[in-house]
Amino acid sequence: MKRISNLFLPFIILLCDDHVNGGLMARRGRLIAASVASVFLALSFLPGCFADNYEYTYGLLDSPGGSSQYQLTVSVTPSLYDYYRSKDHEVYGYLQLARFVTAGALSPIAEDLRVLYQEDEAFANGVLMVVHQILYEAGVSQKYPVETIVENRGDCDLLSFIAASIMRAGGLDVVLLYYEKEGHMNVGVHLSQTPKDARFGVYYYTYKGTRYYMAECTGGDWESGWRVGECPDMLKQASALIIPLDDREESPPGQVSSSFDIPSSSPLSLALSRTVVTVGSSVTISGSISPVNSSENVAIYVSPDGNGWNLLGTVITDSEGRYLCTWATQIAGTYYVKASWSGNAEYAGADSDVRALTFVQLDQTLFVTLILVSMLTLTGILVAVGKRTATHILEEIRINIPFE
């Protein structure tokens, strides 16, 4: 049995022992104690602070086969990871695989890679260096790129979604290449000229008059792995189904953060104007980024159970790094609220703490008020009991309640 918090001990005594300090007080206080204990027990399930960001570092060469090395640090907030985990992952046809390409969420990675690689071929090969460092694992179910980055493993489909997302965010025309017979996937990249860094011949597919050069995303050897235009032996005679990226995410609620340096931390606060609100009334959600970061997007998430999170909306910080929004609902219940921002080149993104918010029907308001009054009344009663009774209570606890 877990050790019982001292906060609950007076309530346990009132509920369980009519002889402590007189049966009359215990009987009168039992209903009050039960209500108050219920409130505390409900609050005990409130999720606490979120974990630190997920952070990974990827090596890069200045060019395929080059000697200069760089390190790119990618950071993902738990909120962004939870958001994509909560999305629908069902696929009802291979063309729907395009929706797993999320260029907006990975655009900071593309921006940093473009600093190193101005030419399109070099940029595409830089993207392949990144995905070749993610552990290949066959048979993983469909996931969004943010999920794969956080879990640091994926099969050919998942690695291709990441590569296509970054390449598209970097301005390249790309498609997914699906080899149904071989059970494989990689990416097709359009370049204005034939790849010059390919070592084993150049392979491509033509779709609507445009040539797309093969980009193999598996392999694991990022320093000397597959380059754009090169083809694994098993695919040299393979027929590919072309998946255009028409069905893709346009406006994600947040992004990963990316930097060639380890970004500084940036705490994000969250406060509620009220924690108990009648249905139909609004509550104000506010907070700030520290240090001050103005004109930044902050995503607000809500959850009915603290597990699956839904995007409530996004707001922009003011000149002092503050954000504010209001929310109302017609559905009674307890909800959990959190905020998240994605960070930038200087600061890593951050999640706020989680706050509980209860919407009640109008006829429930009196009940809630009675509970709050009961809490104050019970506090006065406990003070009135005095030191002698408190000592007696603790003695009873030691006798009657087993501890580990």
**Residue 373, pLDDT score:** 67
Residues of the chain below pLDDT 70: 1-51, 247-248, 250, 363-374, 378-404
Closest CA to 114 of 66, 67, 172, 69: 172
pTM of the entire predicted model: 0.75
What is the amino acid identity at position 38? S
Which of the listed CATH numbers 3.10.620, 1.10.490, 1.20.120, 3.30.70 matches domain 54-257? 3.10.620
Map tokens 């399109």 to a residue: 120
Which of the listed CATH numbers 3.20.20.100, 2.60.40.730, 1.10.10.10, 3.40.50.300 matches domain 265-353? 2.60.40.730
Q: pLDDT tens digits for 267-284? A: 999 999 999 999 999 999
Query: Cα(118)–Cα(126) distance, rounded to whole angstroms?
Result: 11
**Residue 345, pLDDT score:** 79
**Residue 18, pLDDT score:** 42
**CA distances to 73, 196, 292, 342 from 347, in Å:** 12, 37, 11, 9
Indicate the domain borders of the chain: 6-44+365-400, 54-257, 265-353
What is the amino acid identity at position 42? A
By percentage, how much of the chain surpasses pLDDT 90? 64
Q: pLDDT tens digits for 309-322? A: 899 999 999 999 99
